[in-house]
Amino acid sequence: MTTTVNEPAARQTAAATLPRLLPAAPEDLRAHLARYGPTPYRGQAGLLIGDLEASGLTGRGGAAFPAYRKLAIVAQARGRKVVVANGAESEPASRKDEVLLRAAPNLVLDGLQLAAEATGATEAHLYTHHGATPEIIRALAERAAAGLDPVAVTITQAPPRFLAGQESALVNRLGGGPARPTFQPPRVTERGLHGAPTLVQNVETLAHLALIARYGPRWFRAVGTSAEPGSMLTTVYPPDGKCRVIETAIGAPLNTLLTSGPQTQAWLVGGYHGTWLPLPQAAALTLDNGALGKSGAAVGAGVLAALPSDRCGLAEAARVVRYLAAESAGQCGPCLNGLPRIAAALAELAGPRPRRPVRADVERWAGLVEGRGACHHPDGTVRFVRSALTVFAPELTRHEKGHCSGTNHSPFLPLPHTTLPDGIPTSEADWT
Amino acid sequence: MAPTKEAKATKATLKVNPIDCTGHGVCAELLPELISVDEWGYPIVDPRPVPPQLDREARRAVAACPALALKLIRK
């Protein structure tokens, strides 16, 4: 392992156990540097990108794209380049980026500066739903006083939209426009902010990057699976609905994170673009795309929910899909037309005695919207809908007979308060 | 499905920019062999390479799109 940093062995060992990213309490710059050692600038690009490739780090924003590849594309480009730390977790159920930025802002900012150095970027941005929080302002001020950041960081607040963190939507917002996706290619790594090659990485990805730069790929691979190394932050909803952000090894058994007993009827893995999984069949699965992929699921951004047995799964799904339909950017015909119809149909299926053809309507519309958007919003929504109709098929049969097994009608899965009915985006201002 | 010999020769596929597309439907009228419309009037494009005998019609459909949303992507 080639590294320009000589860290005491004790520090490396300390960071080799979980949690790696989340301290027990928010840490200032002094505590951060004491825990992890100095920000390991390399002086040149190649070393870090090679280490990232060897580490196997993938994007933690949900798409699990190899991190080094985006860095390599931007590093190879000429001229002005931009790096962005993306903390605008779009999932209303995801809290991990917010928690990470509050508890360990310096780890994210280390990663942002190291990514800037590795790619040769001269412009750096932090994009979050919460904007310039006291933790971020303090961290940036302490780092400025210590002369730690070669590249100035601009903070931009993301609008409260589901798609605000999508890469091209983010670039549009940073450019002063609405946070709506654009048709790709070109990818933002080729033509991003004001036309400059732009590296957008999730804040958790950057935090991992900052540790790989310090301790190397072998250390990173000490947890996780060989195909999907490292740890990841998850937002876990037990049946009581009180969510926790937990850092866990990729490949951990899901039943160590979620309950699978009689209190729980199904799991939602990967959030609102994710997949419902039936119990007890799913109880033996592990938290990695290799295992989940066989069930049509993916880890996504790490949202995991255990739906309690007293709720109606169809009612929960219908609420979420109504939200997702309202959060369509309204730019692509199939999404604009299909999602509200799917949402209305699901609402009928969630009620008593739905009409017979409604289920088939959902299937048809799902097929019509899938793969036909500029972004993956229709695809993710369809994945959620199809898995709900599969997992809650017995409940659908009950509804057709006029019965419902739900006894607790308070909503379980979280949605933004602002969303419905008044929060539906209707004007340009809703996207900025 | 393995591409045919003809398809290999052109290596061009039709692609719609779904943001620009406003569902005029001109493309489906000019090129029904490769483009149909969904129940809302938006085009469903055959993802396979354009056969050479339809190359001229494909280019005509691209040129006729009022929204400039239809592209012929040559690899």
The domains found in chain A, sorted by start residue, are 9-220 (3.40.50.11540), 232-308 (3.10.20.600), 313-411 (1.20.1440.230)
Instruction: Decide if pLDDT at A395 tops 50.
Output: yes
- CB < 8 Å to A362, chain B: none
How does the average pLDDT of chain A come out, rounded?
Answer: 93
Q: Was domain B5-74 assigned CATH 3.30.930.10?
A: no
- CB < 8 Å to B18, chain A: 183, 331-335, 372-374
- CB < 8 Å to A335, chain B: 18
Instruction: Decide if pLDDT at A418 tops 70.
Output: no
Q: Is A341 on the interface with B (CB under 8 A)?
A: no
Tell me if B19 and A334 make a contact (CB, 8 A cut-off): no
Instruction: Decide if pLDDT at A417 tops 80.
Output: no
Q: Is A345 on the interface with B (CB under 8 A)?
A: no
Please write the tens of the pLDDT for every residue from A59-88.
Answer: 999 999 999 999 999 999 999 999 999 999
**Contact present, A108 and A78 (Cβ < 8 Å):** no
A17 pLDDT band, cuts 50/70/90, is confident
Tell me what pLDDT residue A245 has.
97
Scan for tokens 């058994």, then name that residue. A253
Distance from CA of A380 to the nearest CA of B (A): 17
Tell me what pLDDT residue A14 has.
46
Q: DSSP per residue over B41-74, as a string?
A: S-EEE--SPPPGGGHHHHHHHHHH-TTS-EEEEE
CA distance A377 to A382: 9
Instruction: Decide if pLDDT at A56 tops 60.
Output: yes
Q: Is A178 on the interface with B (CB under 8 A)?
A: no
Nearest residue of chain A to residue B22 (CA atoms): A333
Q: Is B74 on the interface with A (CB under 8 A)?
A: no
Residue type, A368: L
Tell me if B21 and A332 make a contact (CB, 8 A cut-off): yes
Distance from CA of A313 to the nearest CA of B (A): 29
B6 pLDDT band, cuts 50/70/90, is very low
Angle, alpha carbons A20-A26-A27 (nearest 5°): 80
Distance from CA of B67 to the nearest CA of A (A): 13
**What is the interface size between A and B, counted as CB pairs within 8 Å?**
36
Please write the tens of the pLDDT for every residue from B18-75.
Answer: 999 999 999 999 999 999 999 999 999 999 999 999 999 999 999 999 999 999 998 7
CA distance A138 to A32: 13
| Cα–Cα nearest to A73, from A120, A108, A124, A41 | A120
Please write the tens of the pLDDT for every residue from A296-351.
Answer: 999 999 999 999 999 999 999 999 999 999 999 999 999 999 999 999 999 999 99
Nearest to B23 among A181, A333, A338 (CB): A333
Distance from CA of B17 to the nearest CA of A (A): 6
Q: Is B22 on the interface with A (CB under 8 A)?
A: yes
Percent of chain A with pLDDT over 70: 94
Sign of CA dihedral A219, A223, A226, A231: negative
Give the least confident one: A16-30, A118-132, A136-150, A311-325: A16-30
CA distance A200 to A60: 12
CA distance A50 to A57: 11
Instruction: Decide if pLDDT at B10 tops 70.
Output: no
Tell me what pLDDT residue A9 has.
45
**Contact present, A180 and A329 (Cβ < 8 Å):** yes
